[in-house]
Structure 1
Amino acid sequence: MASTDGKMSRFHLTAMVVGSMVGAGIFSLPRTFAGATGPLGAVIAWIIAGTGMYMLARVFQFLAERKPNLDAGVFAYAKEGYGDYPGFLSAFGYWIGSCIGNVSYWVLIKSTLGAFFPVFGDGNTLVAILVASVGIWLFHFMILRGVQQAAALNFIVTIAKIIPILVFIGILIFAFQADMFRFNFYGGGLEGGIFEQVRMTMLVTVFVFLGIEGASVYSRYARERRDVGFATIAGFVGVTTLMVLVTLLPYAVIPREEIAGIRQPSMAGVLEAVVGPWGAVFVSVGLLISVLGAYLAWALICAEVMSAAARTRAMPSLFARENKARVPSAAMWATSIVVQVIVITTYWSTDAFALMLNLTSSMALIPFLLVAGYAMQLTTRGESYAAGPSSDRSRDILIAAVATVYTGYLVYAGGLKFLVLSAILYAPGSLLYVWARREQGKKVFERTSDVVVLALASLGAVVGIYWIATGYIVL
């Protein structure tokens, strides 16, 4: 357990952030970036993403300190700032997006094994789906034994999975070729200008930064409230450094076009090109540990977010139920079932990993935008700042403003395709909100703006389904 009182220590919370962020995404960065841009565009993209996500991390930090009564932050802040229905959409979007992200982990695991055992293919063959299904339910029943026990295991796994990433970085630094880096610098052979190249990387950066809010989600388990903020910033700085190095160093050893053609996980292919076949095996083993650990962390987060929404009556009370080990069991069952269903659907996808990555990022954008918007409300009103120095408030206003602009830009960068795909999930998901309101004997929609939001989501869902049916969107 994390501690004798059932609470998580500062280090366990930090491991939850790192464990959530370091998963499938970091092992796919070389190919994903090389297919969109060169080192110049990558540097610009990471400056934008790093600044924006740092500000979002700071938002989570000061909200955790100034609003200690709001647990499971992503959902709670949206509800506090915008009302019941937007709060529900934030919780549902974050939950279902996280479930989709968990599916991407299983796809990448099987794709990794596919490099050695062809029966797994690209992670979406029948055998791959069957093996993933077994894994889903093994994790499910392990988590039901207790949150703190799972968090302690996550702490150990987090340490283990950082080692191969550090070895990869060390070898590529030693093999660095300045001439190759200069050759790749402007992304020769790519269409579109640098702005378009950078825009194409934005959803990827969202995916790899997901988990930055891990400590905030688990704030009710923190031994001390200030540990939430420390864990968020410490995890962010450490993981961002790793991701930037993993992205840029491959440009110094292999031509960009070759990196873009390497199968996922591309980090394995890059190391193989530098040191030989053992490099692919080494990274692949590290990836399996990393992704399984990330799946554990995210399965915990999924269940906790849904349970928190139910505890505050935004979702049906069924999902607030906990077992004897204090695990939100009903929410955990719902999470595992949804992950299982989506894993089965990957059988018909042409590029299951890319689809899961982009859709996960898209589903997270609205919840993040609402959190940043709530921070703007809090700081501009001066709520909770009366007794403190005015410089603190001015600083936090700037932080919240940058975070809001950044998350708004991400919605634009994601494009219309993924907005309508998100709507396909948001619109029917609203039935859970109707269920919860009727359970409480309340009017379903008390504000006209809520009806407008539902109408827009429903319209987007219809458009999305039509585009899929006509082949305009290929899954």
Structure 2
Amino acid sequence: MRKDDGGPPEGADLAARPGSTAKVTLPTLTAMVVGSMVGAGVFSLPSRFAQETGVAGALIAWAIAGTGMLMLALVFQTLAVRKPDLDAGVYAYAKAGFGEYLGFFSAFGYWASACVGNVTYWVLIMSTIGAIAPALGDGDTLLAAVCSSAGLWLFFLLIRRGVKEAATINRVVTVAKLVPILVFILLALFSLDTDVFAENFRGADYAGSLFQQVRGTMLATVFVFLGVEGASVYSRHAKRREDVGRATVLGFLSVFSIFASVTIVSYGLLPMAEIAELRQPSMAGVLEAAVGTWGKVMVSVGLIVSVLGAYLAWTLMAAEVLLVAAKDKDMPRFLRRTNASDVPVPALLMTTVLSQVVLFVTLLSDDAFNFALDLTSALSLIPYLLAAAYAAKIAHRSAPGTRSRGRELTVGVLATVYTAFLLYAAGLKFVLVSFIVYAPATVLFVMARREQGRRLFSPRELVILAASIAGAVAGITALAAGWITI
């Protein structure tokens, strides 16, 4: 149940209610994966990559990200078949593989990444409008934060009344997302300047070594690929169980080709240093350089429609994470409550409050959009790492000589290594900031255990608790001392 950054596409409403008997087909499941990944992040790719690397580094980065995320997609394919009883996706795999406390952390991290990711939507909307209303800046001014806050709470009131992700809304969102992106790729190809492309090949002087360039792009690739598990979220609604894995791989390959194309063709339109300085959404600025103002307007309008629809969908999805965890007794029971419109209001309120807090934290950041983007990616890495490690664990425990054991073990290990590398690529700053978010969440875990009259922590869980608190203390100390900045 993770945002990619786009939101559930048409058909997701089939799975909105637990009691639904509707069965979804392979094309619909594939659309769910595509819709989960394609969203706000793709509109920011040109500038984000140009800030770190040139064409050569981008090609290597996409090769690494493509291979790693394909392994992760295959992990979800394997788990969908091997563990058909686990229907809640990433959160369920972590709990089954490594116990309730790490399962709780996975659920919370997954939810928190959705909340922080929602903040990138508002920053990007305000930055887009800021092109004609300078007071909004790059979405990082006080006025922008106030306007974004108004939007946050307006959506809270609308969703509280029962506005859900209807198929009609999702059709508009899907078209709004894909048409400008595909048009951008085609127009960029026709306008591509081979001399500019060649100059951008090795990267600019500010980019550092090739390894540093590639490492600098990793969190951006994670952000845009979030949602690769989209089909597994609705696995129990699949007409055929094997379609879940097929949809995951087909959706991933489709989206991968779009993301890589957007990034690479941009290097043929403007010098790398100029792309790096473009305001977000940078895709609009790149297209404006190629075809004029109308290109910028087309991308900007498409982005706003896309992001508003995606925000609606993923706010509901974030609340669903808490609702499901509460029903599994991994969160306090108050989060199970729903109103007459079947909306989980307490979970929705918590989702909106965390987004509000992060929104104001971005005012302290030097780059609000990239900070929120990177934090979203970093928070999601623990749930992904645990899911990959669980796949490797069950493959390792399979009977020797089992036909698929070798392939599943290889996929699980590679996916685990890749997500571990992403934590390294995130850097100490975002790992520590993630601990600051994760550690206080234990209060919810304690509440749930007390409600059940159970022992609060096992010895193993106490070790995990101590590690999370130590990480949070280190993060707060580093921020206070100025050793790391946001």
Shorter-chain TM band: over 0.9
The one-letter amino acid paired with 1:7 is A
What is the rounded CA distance, in whole Å, between the counterparts of 1:152 and 1:393 in structure 2?
Answer: 43
Matched, 1:428 2:445: no
Q: CA deviation at 1:6?
A: 6.0
Matched, 1:65 2:76: no
In structure 2, relative to structure 1, the CA distance for the partners of 1:8 and 1:424 (3 Å cut) is farther
The one-letter amino acid paired with 1:128 is A
**Could you tell me whether the CA contact under 8 Å between 2:164 and 2:316 is conserved in 1?**
no
What is the rounded CA distance, in whole Å, between the counterparts of 1:281 and 1:156 in structure 2?
Answer: 18
**Could you tell me whether the CA contact under 8 Å between 1:151 and 1:297 is conserved in 2?**
no
**Could you tell me whether the CA contact under 8 Å between 2:129 and 2:136 is conserved in 1?**
yes
Matched, 1:218 2:234: yes
**Could you tell me whether the CA contact under 8 Å between 1:7 and 1:148 is conserved in 2?**
no
Q: CA deviation at 1:73?
A: 1.1
What is the rounded CA distance, in whole Å, between the counterparts of 1:341 and 1:6 in structure 2?
Answer: 38
Q: Deviations over 1:309-362 (max 9, x none)?
A: 112111112222334444433322221222123223333333111110111111
Query: Where do residues 239-278 of structure 1 align in structure 2 (5 Å cutoff)?
Result: 239-278=255-294
In structure 2, relative to structure 1, the CA distance for the partners of 1:223 and 1:120 (3 Å cut) is farther
In structure 2, relative to structure 1, the CA distance for the partners of 1:131 and 1:225 (3 Å cut) is farther
What is the rounded CA distance, in whole Å, between the counterparts of 1:151 and 1:142 in structure 2?
Answer: 17
| Residue of structure 2 equivalent to 1:419 | 431
**Could you tell me whether the CA contact under 8 Å between 1:17 and 1:215 is conserved in 2?**
yes
Matched, 1:456 2:467: yes
Q: Which moved more, 1:133-142 or 1:70-79?
A: 133-142
The one-letter amino acid paired with 1:395 is R
The one-letter amino acid paired with 1:368 is Y
**Could you tell me whether the CA contact under 8 Å between 1:88 and 1:433 is conserved in 2?**
yes
What is the rounded CA distance, in whole Å, between the counterparts of 1:147 and 1:53 in structure 2?
Answer: 33
| Residue of structure 2 equivalent to 1:7 | 22
SS in 2 for 1:190: helix
What is the rounded CA distance, in whole Å, between the counterparts of 2:161 and 2:77 in structure 1?
Answer: 30
SS in 2 for 1:405: helix
Matched, 1:438 2:450: yes
What is the rounded CA distance, in whole Å, between the counterparts of 1:457 and 1:147 in structure 2?
Answer: 37
In structure 2, relative to structure 1, the CA distance for the partners of 1:68 and 1:140 (3 Å cut) is farther
What is the rounded CA distance, in whole Å, between the counterparts of 2:200 and 2:449 in structure 1?
Answer: 56
**Could you tell me whether the CA contact under 8 Å between 1:19 and 1:293 is conserved in 2?**
no
Q: CA deviation at 1:401?
A: 1.4
What is the rounded CA distance, in whole Å, between the counterparts of 2:179 and 2:198 in structure 1?
Answer: 29
Q: Which moved more, 1:331-340 or 1:80-89?
A: 331-340
Query: Where do residues 237-386 of structure 1 align in structure 2 (5 Å cutoff)?
Result: 237-382=253-398
Unaligned runs of 5+ in 1: none
Q: How many correspondences in the alignment?
A: 470
Q: Deviations over 1:22-47 (max 9, x none)?
A: 22211111111111111111011101
In structure 2, relative to structure 1, the CA distance for the partners of 1:8 and 1:205 (3 Å cut) is farther
**Could you tell me whether the CA contact under 8 Å between 2:176 and 2:303 is conserved in 1?**
no
Matched, 1:134 2:150: yes
| Residue of structure 2 equivalent to 1:400 | 412
Question: TM-score scaled by structure 1?
Answer: 0.93
Q: Deviations over 1:396-435 (max 9, x none)?
A: 2221111111111111111111111011011111111111
Q: CA deviation at 1:474?
A: 2.0
Q: Which moved more, 1:397-406 or 1:79-88?
A: 397-406
SS in 2 for 1:350: coil
| Residue of structure 1 equivalent to 2:484 | 473
In structure 2, relative to structure 1, the CA distance for the partners of 1:333 and 1:215 (3 Å cut) is farther
| Residue of structure 2 equivalent to 1:170 | 186
Q: Which moved more, 1:427-436 or 1:182-191?
A: 182-191
In structure 2, relative to structure 1, the CA distance for the partners of 1:410 and 1:184 (3 Å cut) is same
In structure 2, relative to structure 1, the CA distance for the partners of 1:218 and 1:302 (3 Å cut) is farther
In structure 2, relative to structure 1, the CA distance for the partners of 1:42 and 1:327 (3 Å cut) is same
The one-letter amino acid paired with 1:411 is L
How many percent identity over aligned positions? 54
Q: Which moved more, 1:345-354 or 1:84-93?
A: 345-354
| Residue of structure 1 equivalent to 2:138 | 122
| Residue of structure 2 equivalent to 1:208 | 224
The one-letter amino acid paired with 1:462 is V
**Could you tell me whether the CA contact under 8 Å between 1:16 and 1:155 is conserved in 2?**
no
What is the rounded CA distance, in whole Å, between the counterparts of 1:114 and 1:376 in structure 2?
Answer: 47
In structure 2, relative to structure 1, the CA distance for the partners of 1:149 and 1:264 (3 Å cut) is closer
Question: TM-score scaled by structure 2?
Answer: 0.91
The one-letter amino acid paired with 1:105 is Y
SS in 1 for 2:140: coil
**Could you tell me whether the CA contact under 8 Å between 2:165 and 2:313 is conserved in 1?**
no
Q: Which moved more, 1:218-227 or 1:312-321?
A: 218-227
Q: Which moved more, 1:257-266 or 1:324-333?
A: 324-333
**Could you tell me whether the CA contact under 8 Å between 1:214 and 1:301 is conserved in 2?**
no
Q: Deviations over 1:232-279 (max 9, x none)?
A: 223211111110011100111211111111111111110111111222
Q: CA deviation at 1:70?
A: 1.0
**Could you tell me whether the CA contact under 8 Å between 2:331 and 2:448 is conserved in 1?**
yes
Q: Deviations over 1:136-176 (max 9, x none)?
A: 23433444466874455224411332000001000011112
SS in 2 for 1:445: coil
SS in 2 for 1:333: helix
In structure 2, relative to structure 1, the CA distance for the partners of 1:472 and 1:79 (3 Å cut) is same
The one-letter amino acid paired with 1:37 is T
Q: Which moved more, 1:253-262 or 1:336-345?
A: 336-345
- Taking only aligned residues, the RMSD between alpha carbons, in angstroms, comes to 2.2
What is the rounded CA distance, in whole Å, between the counterparts of 1:407 and 1:370 in structure 2?
Answer: 9
Matched, 1:109 2:135: no
